[in-house]
Copies of this chain bind each other. A is one copy, B any other.
Amino acid sequence: MNAEIVAVGTELLLGQITNTNGAYLAAKLAEIGINVYYQTVVGDNPQRLEQVLTIAEQRSDMVMTIGGLGPTEDDLTKQIVAKHLHERLVVDQAAQAKIDHQAQLTGRMQSANNQKQALKIEHAISLANHNGYAVGDLYLNDHGASYVLLPGPPAECLKMIESELMPALKQHRAEKQVYVSRVMRFVGIGESQLVTDLADLISTQSNPTIAPYAKAAEVTLRITASAVDDISANQLIDEIEDKILSIDGQYFYGHGDDFSLEAAVVAQLIKHHLTITAAESLTAGEFQSTIGRVPGVSAVFPGGFVTYANEAKQQLLAIPSEVIATHGVVSEQTAIWMAKQAKQQLNTDIAVSFTGVAGPDELEHQPAGTVWIGIAFKNQAPQAYLYHFNNGRQQIRARSVMSGLDLVRQRLNEK
């Protein structure tokens, strides 16, 4: 079964708000194996909306509208869909009671506009609105496309999808097949490289499917399997995951849409009771700020140093001036000294250092994107690694931070 999402609202077309509801709904539908092949955004315009509905029901089994259920003049979705389906609008008693109750509380007379929100399509199942007044509709149609009508305000829409639409759909879905999807996260390898490595796997797979996606400084693979139950679907995913790990396992760092490299590294540090600090030049605190995003990091992170100017490197980290004078500030030696000294100053198990050229201008005749990242790890001799990043100052700094986190991750894995 496939569905099409139609978001209604001129403010969406003008870019005054973003269609976050559509993304959320699509993700929820994917979980139960309803494919969304199209999403459309159309303004509060009766003719254009009806044209969009006509196109949608020709190519989709289910048309889901978001928005236009509110009290104002230009909220017309329910009226237009009803007309389109040759259905009447009737009052949903529960929704009306809720509006009456609120009117009583505020002592305000309720406007006809407000009552409009209690209307439902006569032969549709009502979807209660727990965060508002506009009632939603689930209109199941055996002959043509089925329809779902959802409110536009995210708080109302997301709640209605979660607690009303999804249970109703699961109940009414014809297919008994379950769909399970799992996200694998990779760092230190580009999307094109990963896809090349896994080309055979990706092209030969139909169930599970493997979908690569490039994030800021990492790549994810979404593996989606369908089977008769979760256990067998997960077995299919496990098998393909093993094959993937046997090829590019060294770049894999964790699962899940909401997981992050900093969360993975901090979790490892806490698990192994290892403390960390940093000395940052071009990243100016972004590495520390990034691990600072992870709740509970205070257990392993006492603080650290932002040493932007050479004087600060000498004063805060007690780096001999000859080091910078001899080797330059963007050098292996300076990176090693920064890490070594930061580790010693705060007496941590690990220290990471960043020195390089954030740009736009070059430094010491080295182009923007030239970055040395140093790591002092427990009793090992401190080392530094050279990177070449590009695409501007912010990308260079962000990739430096991700690469620093990845260095720590690799050392932790070696333990």
Q: Is A374 an interface residue (CB 8 A)?
A: no
Q: In the docked arrangement, what's the CA distance between A297 and B397, Å?
A: 14
Spot the interface stretch: A78-86, A142-150, A211-219.
A211-219
Q: Are B292 and A222 in contact (CB under 8 A)?
A: no
Bound Cα distance A25, B289 (Å): 31
Identify which of B20, B41, B193, B292 contacts A286 (C-beta below 8 A): B292
Q: State the number of copies, please.
A: 2
Question: What CA separation (Å) do A92 and B291 show in the bound complex?
Answer: 41
Residues of chain B within 8 A (CB-CB) of A71 are 191-192, 195
For A43, the closest partner residue in chain B by CB is B37
| Chain A 264-308 interface 0/1 with B at a Cβ cutoff of 8 Å (1 = within) | 000000000000001010111111110111010110011111111
Question: Total interface residues on A, using CB and 8 Å?
Answer: 108
Cα–Cα distance between A5 and B20 once the two chains are bound (Å): 17
Collect the chain B residues with CB atoms within 8 Å of residue A202's CB.
73
Listed stretches A231-239, A242-250, A388-396, A404-412; interface member: A388-396
Known: A48-B37, A285-B287. A131 touches B392 (CB 8 A): yes
A97 vs chain B, min Cβ distance (A)? 13
A206 within 8 A of B: no
CB neighbours (8 Å) of A106 from chain B are 388
Q: Give per-residue flags for A222-266: 1 if the beta carbon is below 8 A from chain B beta carbons, else 0.
A: 100000000000000000000000000000000001000000000
Chain B residues whose CB sits within 8 angstroms of the CB of A380 once the complex forms: none
Contact B36 A346 (CB under 8 A): no
Q: Is the CB of A38 within 8 A of B27?
A: no
B16 pairs with A19, CB closer than 8 A = no
Inter-chain contacts of A72 with B (CB < 8 A): 191-192, 195, 212
Inter-chain contact A102/B390, CB cutoff 8 Å: yes
Segment among A7-15, A118-126, A165-173, A319-327 that sits at the interface with chain B: A7-15
Question: Can you pick out 22 interface pairs between chain A and chain B where the beta carbons lie within 8 Å of each other?
Answer: A12-B23, A15-B27, A16-B222, A16-B257, A38-B41, A39-B40, A70-B214, A72-B191, A73-B202, A106-B388, A111-B192, A114-B192, A131-B391, A283-B292, A285-B285, A285-B286, A286-B289, A288-B289, A292-B397, A293-B394, A293-B397, A295-B393
Point out residues on A near B: beta carbons under 8 Å.
Answer: 10-20, 22-28, 30, 35-43, 45, 48, 51-52, 55, 59, 70-73, 102, 105-106, 111, 113-114, 130-132, 153, 155, 191-193, 195-196, 199, 202-203, 211-214, 222, 257, 278, 280, 282-289, 291-293, 295, 297-298, 301-309, 311-313, 315-316, 345-346, 358-361, 369, 388, 390-395, 397
